[in-house]
């Protein structure tokens, strides 16, 4: 299959693209290298994808890319289907809000399916920049949906978020729960995206599967900004004090899904035969922040300095009921957090100094 992956240079998008290439699919990746975090992180991800597809590297040397790629490949053993003949990778730098750019991508490629990961991410920043979030997450999604229905796309997978549920600390949320009461601009923009996906399915017959991602998603090369595990790793390495924002301090518990488990769920959404469905993809096993910290400390064999401060009012916590995904997609997350964080720390130590000493995390 020829699959368009938006946000292909991001954390989750690059893992999805790598898994698709490994199994023999051709990936057309797009990303705008938004400055939400440093561009060189995404360039690194693109070159890992070039290595996966046996392309020439664009940004970094083989001496830097190959050891990290080998580690990721080893971690993925027995996780993904792997073909003897990997698929291809073609990359476009551009923005999903640019309709002319997207039209060019669709016209130059025979696209069979779309995995739409590109978005302005992060709850706190959406409070500061609400118009940016609606422009990218709503208008950009409409652009992709419109071009997909015009080009006869066979499946549109939309990456939504647990943020659509608002704050549901008291229960595990199911796909049937109300999503009309988001408490962040980011969550509201994802609700809007879901509603638009449903409308395009009903009106135009576009097959759509929605993945409500329960994160934070962690693992090697985790998004460097706004993700607790990566921040804790960075702060411990650089001997800095981390601030804890959770509403219940160290007892604040959230679903947190290892990257390969999340990607397997997304690929199951792509491969299923449903015309329209919504799935929670998480672990259904929320762990308190004190456990997250413990995993990082054990991986480093050092103690992290921390400070508990005022809560973030837009911060939400919810846990996924994943019984529907288990039944209909055979989804089965199983990676232990200690294993996943150890891998994340091991790759962190392999990275160059500019990565390990980033200030904005």
Q: Averaged over 19-38, what is the pLDDT?
A: 95
Residues with a known catalytic role: 186
- Of 74, 68, 106, 79, the C-alpha closest to 90 is 106
Give the predicted TM-score (pTM) of the model.
Answer: 0.95
Q: Assign 250 a pLDDT band (cuts: 50, 70, 90).
A: confident
Q: Averaged over 265-283, what is the pLDDT?
A: 97
pLDDT in tens, 184-207: 999 999 999 999 999 999 999 999
Query: For residues 68, 267, 180 and 216, what is the CA-based torsion angle, rounded to 10 degrees?
Result: -20
Q: Which CATH code, of 3.40.50.620, 3.30.1300.10, 3.40.50.720, 3.40.718.10, is assigned to 2-217+258-285+318-336? A: 3.40.50.720
- Backbone phi, then psi, for 138, in 5-degree steps? -100, -60
CB contact set of 27 (below 8 Å; sequence gap of 6+): 3, 5, 8, 17, 20, 21, 49, 53, 87, 88, 89, 90
Mean pLDDT score of the chain: 93
Q: Averaged over 99-118, what is the pLDDT?
A: 98
pLDDT in tens, 45-66: 999 999 999 999 999 999 999 9
Residue 104 scores a pLDDT above 90:
yes
- 137 and 120 Cβ atoms separated by less than 8 Å: yes
pLDDT in tens, 130-177: 899 999 999 999 999 999 999 999 999 999 999 999 876 657 899 999
Q: What is the pLDDT of residue 244?
A: 84
Other Cβ atoms less than 10 A from the Cβ of 62: the count is 11
Q: What is the pLDDT of residue 246?
A: 62
Q: In the chain, what are the domain boundaries? A: 2-217+258-285+318-336
């Amino acid at each position: 299959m020829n699959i368009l992956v938006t946000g292909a240079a991001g954390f989750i998008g690059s893992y999805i693209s790598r898994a698709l290439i490994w199994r023999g699919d051709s990936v057309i990746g797009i990303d705008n290298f938004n400055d939400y975090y440093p561009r060189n992180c995404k360039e690194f991800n693109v070159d890992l994808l070039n290595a996966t597809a046996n392309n020439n590297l664009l940004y970094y040397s083989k001496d830097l890319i190959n050891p990290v790629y080998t580690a990721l490949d080893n971690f993925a053993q027995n996780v993904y289907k792997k073909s003897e003949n990997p698929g291809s990778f073609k990359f476009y730098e551009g923005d999903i809000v640019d309709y002319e750019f997207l039209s060019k991508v669709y016209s130059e490629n025979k696209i069979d399916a779309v995995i739409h990961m590109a978005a302005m991410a992060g709850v706190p920043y959406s409070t500061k920049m609400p118009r940016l979030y609606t422009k990218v997450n709503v208008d950009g999604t409409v652009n992709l949906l419109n071009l997909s229905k015009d080009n006869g796309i066979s499946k549109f997978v939309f990456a939504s978020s647990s943020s659509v549920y608002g704050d549901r600390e008291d229960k595990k949320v199911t796909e049937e729960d109300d999503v009309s009461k988001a408490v962040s601009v980011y969550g509201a923009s994802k609700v809007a995206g879901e509603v638009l996906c449903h409308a395009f399915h009903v009106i135009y017959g576009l097959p759509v599967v929605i993945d409500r991602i329960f994160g934070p998603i962690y693992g090697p090369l985790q998004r460097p900004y706004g993700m607790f595990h990566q921040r804790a790793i960075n702060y411990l390495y650089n001997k800095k004090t981390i601030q804890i924002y959770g509403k219940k301090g160290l007892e604040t518990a959230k679903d947190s899904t290892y990257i390969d488990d999340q990607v397997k769920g997304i690929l199951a959404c792509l491969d299923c035969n449903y015309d329209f469905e919504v799935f929670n993809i998480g672990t259904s096993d929320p762990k308190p922040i004190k456990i997250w910290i413990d995993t990082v400390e054990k991986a480093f064999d050092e103690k992290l300095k921390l400070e508990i401060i005022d809560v973030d009012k837009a911060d939400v916590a919810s846990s996924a009921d994943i019984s529907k995904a288990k039944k209909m997609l055979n989804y089965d997350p199983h990676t232990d957090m200690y294993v996943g964080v150890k891998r994340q720390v091991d790759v962190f130590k392999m990275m160059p100094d500019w990565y390990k000493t980033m200030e904005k995390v």
